[in-house]
Structure 1
Amino acid sequence: MSRRAVVLVVALLLAGCSGPPRSTPDVPSRGPLNNTDVMFLQMILPHHRQGVELAALGHTKGGRAELVRLAAAIEATQRDEAEMLAGVLADSGAPPSPAATGGEDPHAAHGGLPGTSELQVAALKATTGTEFERRFLNTMMAHQGDAIRLAKMEVAGGADKRLVDLARRIEQSRTAQIEQMQKLLDATPR
């Protein structure tokens, strides 16, 4: 790939990592949140919070400048998105999680995305150097793949325009991030 193409990809990634446009909170919803909107919020918020934790590891422990910059951008984006999403969920009056209602998990029927386990996070924290970068990139690509699946669910069935628009941006930016991370992984020494 030419240097110009690499610069373009990085610029696009960083643009996609800049968080939701400032106008997002001003976009009116199409009415009250539907079940898909609430489910999306309840599932994506803990996912984003864990993404911030993972990206912070890449930002602080990564060796290559490209990896550190990408991880820092992911960390900032997901922190901003989580803050906005938490506000929407709080304003909706819906519980922060299905467990908060004391009932059965209504998300279980959706396959309950497995997420990144505490063991995986601990193993990532315990590694350094090239092993860390390889493990980080693989973990983060899987994590962002889960975000894409959640975003597609919201796009397909959500009613709130702000959330559907954000879900579309999540799908696009996470796809670009995965592509960039795959290139970084391919360039990681064995």
Structure 2
Amino acid sequence: MNTRTKTAGLIAAAAAAAALVAGCSNDDAGSGHSMNSMPMSTGMSAPASAASHNAADIAWVQMMIPHHQQAVEMAALAEGRTQNAQLLALASQIKAAQDPEIEQMSGWLAEWGMPTMPAGMDHSAHGMSGDMGGMMSAEQMSQLENATGAEFDRAWLEMMIAHHQGAIDSSKQIQTDGQSEQVRELAGKIIAGQQAEIEQMNAMLGR
């Protein structure tokens, strides 16, 4: 099964669960804080765009948050394990891009009245999110933690390429399945940014 088909299936499964509560959460979308922390008067409804989302949007955000978190964790491992200035700069770039996106997506879930993970799922146990395209296993993360120098560089680049490709495939899928314009915009940003980084990493590997 290719990564895109697998990711689509996972989003569909998560969306089915999210749909059980998504309907009522839309009515309460204005009760949370906006992702930009803009003040809202009590009793006022959120903008229509904040309520325009579906179960696929919810599932994608719930899976993309831990996916981003792992990329940030991988980026943090570079410090002290490599002297490769280009890799260190890229790791810093990845962290700078994905940390704000994690906050943004967490804000959407709060607005939508949804938990950060689907009911019955455990991110730490590599449940549904752990199977999202490109996610590294605990064994792979341990391998990365224990590597240094050229060995670390190659492992990190190869793993991050796979990790980015999973995010790209999932982002393309949500542009078809989702409803939220905010989600579509972020997905487009992820596709463009991470594809450029994949090209850079392939060049660093001499491909």
TM-score by length of 2: 0.69
Residue 42 in structure 1 maps to residue 44 in structure 2: no
Please tell me the residue identity of whatever aligns with 2:173. Answer: M
Identity of aligned residues (%): 35
2:101 and 2:180 map into 1 onto residues whose CA distance is 16
Residue 154 in structure 1 maps to residue 174 in structure 2: yes
Structure 1 residues 37 and 132, CA, compared in 2 at 3 Å: closer, same or farther?
A: same
Q: Choose the corresponding residue for 2:189, options 162, 169, 180.
A: 169
Please tell me the residue identity of whatever aligns with 2:196. Answer: A
Q: Which runs of 5+ in 1 are unaligned?
A: 1-23
Question: Could you tell me whether the CA contact under 8 Å between 1:30 and 1:159 is conserved in 2?
Answer: no
Q: Choose the corresponding residue for 1:124, options 144, 149, 162.
A: 144
Question: Could you tell me whether the CA contact under 8 Å between 1:116 and 1:143 is conserved in 2?
Answer: yes
Deviation at 1:99, TM superposition (A): 3.0
Residue in 2 that maps onto 1:4 = none
2:82 and 2:201 map into 1 onto residues whose CA distance is 13
Please tell me the residue identity of whatever aligns with 1:159. Answer: Q
Structure 1 residues 84 and 30, CA, compared in 2 at 3 Å: closer, same or farther?
A: closer
Please tell me the residue identity of whatever aligns with 1:83. Answer: E
Please tell me the residue identity of whatever aligns with 2:115. Answer: P
Please tell me the residue identity of whatever aligns with 2:72. Answer: V
Question: Could you tell me whether the CA contact under 8 Å between 1:40 and 1:153 is conserved in 2?
Answer: no
Q: Choose the corresponding residue for 1:66, options 75, 83, 86.
A: 86
Deviations, residues 29-70 of structure 1 (Å, cap 9, x unaligned):
273320111011111001001110011112443321111101
Aligned-CA RMSD value: 2.5
Residue 113 in structure 1 maps to residue 133 in structure 2: yes
2:82 and 2:182 map into 1 onto residues whose CA distance is 34
Residue in 2 that maps onto 1:16 = none
Residue in 2 that maps onto 1:134 = 154
Residue in 2 that maps onto 1:95 = 115
SS in 1 for 2:78: helix
Please tell me the residue identity of whatever aligns with 1:116. Answer: M
Q: Which runs of 5+ in 2 are unaligned?
A: 1-34, 39-46
The 5-angstrom pairing of residues 21-60 of structure 1 reads 29=49, 31-60=51-80
TM-score by length of 1: 0.75
2:180 and 2:149 map into 1 onto residues whose CA distance is 43
- Which is bigger in relative contact order (C-alpha 8 A, separation at least 6)? 1
2:80 and 2:88 map into 1 onto residues whose CA distance is 7
Question: Could you tell me whether the CA contact under 8 Å between 1:56 and 1:71 is conserved in 2?
Answer: yes
Structure 1 residues 120 and 159, CA, compared in 2 at 3 Å: closer, same or farther?
A: same
Which consecutive segments of 4 or more residues in structure 1 shift more than 6 A? none
